[in-house]
Copies of this chain bind each other. A is one copy, B any other.
């Protein structure tokens, strides 16, 4: 039988999230994967990778099982059995009632960047036998998790020394903006944002439209929070009364678009030991177009990186971790 690591389903009580404005719990389950050697070699320390879930996800979902796609812990066991270096994985829970925080601080959601970087990183180093420096600490994720990995690679390159971004949110003009009019229409049809929210919350089976609308609301909570508005504390990029597009709010979203941030953070990105970016060429949110535009900018800036495309859409692409995890292991000096 293959040697297997194990998962510890920690409960973490977050000071950063206590009393968060969205009313979400401040006690979070943070699964940590410990590789086979962790128990076998009790004196050994390991690199660590923070793996960020996508929109409407949280760490535990990375462990969800499927008949044809291994959960993240099983995937690690298989990769390690094939020779990959052993690493610890941490799976944060930054889910909010709006579907996700984008791993940012926001007055609408709460301080999820602070929770991630200021709380979880030191807690993991204190709790597990990590190699506790940026040279041995990576960050990865898919979709909104890919966004989170990239943004923290830009802003906290002193904390994270390697980044893998799968199908990450970028080029907001292409990935979010096409859904704005539909968002307005859906909210209007429901009779306004509060009735929409009430209906959404009560529906056991969420529809495709529900996700579209929640996605825009969630991004507004992350990118254009406004504590002066009630009851959600967000500015929306369209005027719900008239239906008009709001350029001012949209500008705030764009200010958090990796495509717009890359020049400013070129030095940080250049300091990474690995900057892996990939996307499926049939991404339903057009994120492969964004990834290409980012790739061109990175090239122009001389930032070393890997840009790959694969023949698939946005969903169920966890198999891309089979590519990025070994690269992260290499970059972070993980040993078999």
Q: Which residues of A contact B (CB under 8 A)?
A: 1, 7, 9, 11, 27, 56-58, 60-61, 63-68, 71, 95, 99, 171, 173-175, 177-182, 184-185, 188-189, 204-206, 242-245, 281-283, 286, 288-289, 292-293, 296, 312-313, 315-316, 319
Contact = CB atoms under 8 A, between A and B. Distances in A.
A205 B312 contact: yes
A313 B11 CA distance: 34
B64 A182 contact: no
A204 to B, nearest CB: 7
B181 A286 contact: yes
Contact of A296 (B60, B178, B242, B293): B242
A243 B205 contact: no
A20 to B, nearest CB: 16
The 5 nearest A-B residue pairs measured at CB: A178-B178, A174-B181, A181-B286, A64-B64, A243-B289
A282 B244 contact: no
Given A1-B27, A58-B65, A189 B282 contact: yes
Nearest to A285: B181
A286 B182 contact: yes
B185 A288 contact: yes
Contact of A177 (B99, B178, B292): B178
Given A64-B64, A68-B206, A204-B316, A244 B181 contact: no
A293 B173 contact: no
Given A61-B65, A174-B245, A178-B178, 9 more contacts: A57-B67, A67-B95, A174-B180, A174-B243, A189-B282, A205-B312, A205-B313, A205-B316, A243-B292
A185 B58 contact: no
Contacts of A179: 178
28 contacts: A1-B11, A57-B67, A58-B67, A60-B65, A61-B65, A63-B65, A67-B99, A171-B181, A174-B245, A175-B181, A177-B177, A177-B178, A178-B178, A178-B180, A178-B181, A181-B286, A181-B289, A184-B289, A185-B282, A185-B288, A185-B289, A188-B289, A204-B312, A205-B315, A242-B296, A243-B289, A243-B292, A244-B293
